[in-house]
Chain A
Amino acid sequence: MQRCDLIVIGAGPAGLSAAVEAARQGMRVTVYDENARPGGQLFKQIHKFFGSREHKAKIRGIRIGEELLQEASAAGVQVELDAVVTGIFADKEVTVRQGERMLRRKADTLIIATGASENMTSFENWTLPGVIGAGAAQTMMNLHGVRPGEKILMLGSGNVGLVVGFQLLQAGCQVVAVADALPGIGGYGVHAAKLARCGVPFYTAHTIVRAEGVERVTGAVIGAIDQNWHIVPDSEKHFDVDTICLAVGLSPMSRLCGLAGCVMEDNPQKAGLVPVVDALGETSVPGIFAAGDVSGIEEASSAMIEGRIAGLAAAHRMGFMASSALDARLAELTGALASLRAGMFAPGSKGKVFTHTAEGCALSASLLRRGFVADEEIDRYPGVTRARGVHPVLECTQNIPCNPCADACPRQCITVGADGGTITALPVFDAARGCTGCGLCVAACSGQAIFLVDEEAGEITLPYEFLPLPQKGEQGMALGRDGQPVCPAEVVAVRTSAAFDKTNLLTIRVPAEYAGRARFYRKER
């Protein structure tokens, strides 16, 4: 039977990170993954990540995946693909089905990083072709270049629903609506705002009643729900769609942990049945660790840190790493993890109702319900200021862990959490430092919530990630935060640069009185 020092199950962000750290300490590491390609979901995540520089913020998931694969290869990690771990037995022996063969393998330590699976929800006709998971949509359009449909209803407004909804627009699909049974949008407001300004309507406190169609989806009906989760009579609304996308949460895929004899708990804050782990990710079975979504649903950024911690802990456990060296790395990694787990959307904030930001600004009711900050609400946020000449308007209205804007500005105009504050603070612009209008902050903002505005000239520079790219001199329509036409606009500049990483900067000119409202552009119909 083949042996190695560490077997990692799952080659996603957590598993690969764990493998890299352990291998760098000298362990012989083998990673098994059931898929034909490593990287888990990273290669479908074409958006820029949140967090701070240490979390690889403002880098797209696909690039982070490429970096991880390079790190794994440089560290000598062996990755076995099309390899399903089917069992875990005493003394860390595992069985692996690879192709038509069953293999037996053994290691001194195991790290289970099997990730999560998508939840589904059932409704009338939900089995019709055309009802798909949001993950399926991402796989089709971002990996294989095939549009999942032409007209799509997105069910679920958590970050998955919002991010995939935007990606559907980027792929050239029409998103007719985002519906969510909860009374408020579940994901980041900035993600919702990107959709809203493209004209996608949100229906909160609505759920799907039925899919229509005989052989495939031809429509969808949603309805408002009351406090008892019943459909409000006469509230039904029909959409012509060919695809219904379900983004109704993820559940940890923790069955292997149970099979390995780990003590499990059903923990709603972690979104399901998870192994009980300590601060290093070690389960109740000594030498078996769990990292990433399998031990609680979070973002890929935190999964990667959990993976690194588990990898180092495994190396330390087997004597590949001194305690002092481990402690030094842990101090850095646990700090990075803590900063990601702060703010209004942190795992520990689940179930809490926020009315104000940490700065004391009232949260936008419109953002929560309709996906955009209303014009009369926007001025209450510290990043939204008026100044002479061109300057950034930071439409960041919730405490989320993110600060690439501060990092991007060459003149340090933008501050996030000054004086040792947290990266969940709202960004602030300091006009005294003199904005040059370089646009790096606009392109760096993972939430696409920064605009360069020159109120007197009526010029707005906005992030634009669609094709075809508008041309300079083109006449079109400026849209508001709600996606509705505001006024005619002329494209006066289109900037692309390697430094912007595919986020193009579009500068439009509108009558000066609309400079505070125009936030998107479309070619006039």
Chain B
Amino acid sequence: MRINEHPVLGGYPKGEAVAFTFDGARLSGYAGEPVAMALKAAGVFIHRYTRKNHSPRGIFCAIGRCTDCVMIVNGRPNVRTCITPLAADMDVRTQYGMGAKHAAL
């Protein structure tokens, strides 16, 4: 999913490669890029399931406006992953309804 070389932009300035976890699995991304981009590059597309219908949601606007991409980041729910910079050892989890899986209604 990563673009290595772009005909107009060339390369992309990136932070250092860091490891983080997604639902406990170890993934890697670049420090400072949005968490959602690191997930996308790693092939993760479901960020959360809705509370009533348990239907999947992913990235929609990618600029922090729509809140479709919220997840549990470092234990905190409802974090807009498209505008939250990735940091080393971040704990990112799929959100179910308003929180973690066991709390889903």
* Chain B contact residues, majority secondary structure: loop
Q: Which of A144-185 contact B (CB under 8 A)?
A: 144-148, 170-172
Residue in A35, A60, A141, A142 whose CB lies within 8 Å of B63: A35
In angstroms, how far is the closest chain B Cβ from the Cβ of A499? 15
Q: How far is the CA of A127 from the CA of B11 in the complex (A)?
A: 32
Q: Is A75 an interface residue (CB 8 A)?
A: no
Can you list 19 contacts pairing A with B, beta carbon distance less than 8 Å?
A46-B8, A62-B9, A128-B58, A129-B47, A129-B59, A130-B45, A132-B60, A133-B61, A136-B61, A144-B12, A145-B2, A145-B6, A146-B40, A170-B7, A171-B3, A466-B7, A467-B5, A469-B7, A502-B8
In angstroms, how far is the closest chain B Cβ from the Cβ of A170? 5
CB-based contact A140/B7 at 8 Å:
no
Q: How far is the CA of A34 from the CA of B12 in the complex (A)?
A: 23
In angstroms, how far is the closest chain A Cβ from the Cβ of B67? 13
CB-based contact B45/A129 at 8 Å:
yes
Q: Is B17 an interface residue (CB 8 A)?
A: no
Q: Which of B8-57 contact A (CB under 8 A)?
A: 8-9, 11-12, 14, 33-34, 37, 40-41, 45-47, 55-57
Q: How far is the CA of A36 from the CA of B68 in the complex (A)?
A: 19
CB-based contact B63/A146 at 8 Å:
no
In angstroms, how far is the closest chain B Cβ from the Cβ of A13? 16
In angstroms, how far is the closest chain A Cβ from the Cβ of B103? 21
Show the binding face of B for A, using Cβ within 8 Å. Answer: 1-3, 5-9, 11-12, 14, 33-34, 37, 40-41, 45-47, 55-65, 68, 82-83, 85
Closest 7 CB pairs of A and B: A129-B58, A136-B62, A145-B12, A139-B62, A144-B37, A129-B45, A145-B3
> Residues of A contacting B59 with CB < 8 Å?
129, 132, 136, 140
CB-based contact A146/B45 at 8 Å:
no
Q: How far is the CA of A35 from the CA of B57 in the complex (A)?
A: 23
- B5, B7, B33 — which one has the most chain A CB atoms within 10 A of its CB? B7
CB-based contact A467/B37 at 8 Å:
no
Q: Is A118 an interface residue (CB 8 A)?
A: yes
Nearest residue, chain B, Cβ from A469: B7
Nearest residue, chain B, Cβ from A136: B62
> Residues of A contacting B11 with CB < 8 Å?
145
CB-based contact B7/A146 at 8 Å:
no
CB-based contact A141/B3 at 8 Å:
yes
Q: Is A54 an interface residue (CB 8 A)?
A: no
Known A147-B3, A172-B3: A139·B57 in contact at CB below 8 Å: no
CB-based contact A215/B56 at 8 Å:
yes
> Residues of B contacting A466 with CB < 8 Å?
7
CB-based contact B63/A135 at 8 Å:
yes
Known A117-B65, A465-B8, A466-B7: A216·B56 in contact at CB below 8 Å: yes
Q: Is A131 an interface residue (CB 8 A)?
A: yes
> Residues of B contacting A139 with CB < 8 Å?
62-63, 82
> Residues of B contacting A148 with CB < 8 Å?
40
Residue in A127, A142, A146, A170 whose CB lies within 8 Å of B37: A146
Q: Which of A1-57 contact B (CB under 8 A)?
A: 34-36, 46
Given contacts A127-B55, A144-B33, A145-B9, 12 further A-B pairs with CB under 8 A are: A35-B64, A129-B46, A135-B63, A141-B6, A144-B34, A145-B3, A145-B6, A145-B14, A172-B3, A216-B56, A216-B58, A502-B7
Q: How far is the CA of A170 from the CA of B40 in the complex (A)?
A: 19
Q: How far is the CA of A35 from the CA of B1 in the complex (A)?
A: 25
CB-based contact A118/B7 at 8 Å:
no
CB-based contact A118/B61 at 8 Å:
yes
Residue in A117, A118, A140, A170 whose CB lies within 8 Å of B6: A170
Interface size class of A (residues with CB under 8 A): 35 or more
> Residues of B contacting A35 with CB < 8 Å?
63-64, 83
Q: How far is the CA of A117 from the CA of B66 in the complex (A)?
A: 10
CB-based contact B45/A216 at 8 Å:
yes
Nearest residue, chain A, Cβ from B49: A215
Q: How far is the CA of A206 from the CA of B61 in the complex (A)?
A: 24
Nearest residue, chain B, Cβ from A216: B45
CB-based contact A467/B56 at 8 Å:
no
Q: How far is the CA of A139 from the CA of B83 in the complex (A)?
A: 11
> Residues of A contacting B64 with CB < 8 Å?
34-35
> Residues of A contacting B60 with CB < 8 Å?
131-133, 136
Q: Which of A163-217 contact B (CB under 8 A)?
A: 170-172, 215-216
CB-based contact B5/A140 at 8 Å:
no
> Residues of A contacting B12 with CB < 8 Å?
144-145
- A127, A135, A142, A469 — which one has the most chain B CB atoms within 10 A of its CB? A127
> Residues of B contacting A128 with CB < 8 Å?
56, 58
In angstroms, how far is the closest chain A Cβ from the Cβ of B89? 21
CB-based contact B2/A146 at 8 Å:
yes
Q: How far is the CA of A140 from the CA of B12 in the complex (A)?
A: 12
> Residues of A contacting B65 with CB < 8 Å?
117
CB-based contact B57/A135 at 8 Å:
no
Q: How far is the CA of A467 from the CA of B7 in the complex (A)?
A: 6
Nearest residue, chain A, Cβ from B63: A139
Known A170-B8, A216-B46: A146·B3 in contact at CB below 8 Å: yes
CB-based contact B1/A146 at 8 Å:
yes
> Residues of A contacting B45 with CB < 8 Å?
129-130, 215-216
CB-based contact A127/B57 at 8 Å:
yes
> Residues of A contacting B6 with CB < 8 Å?
141, 145, 170-171, 467
Q: How far is the CA of A142 from the CA of B6 in the complex (A)?
A: 9
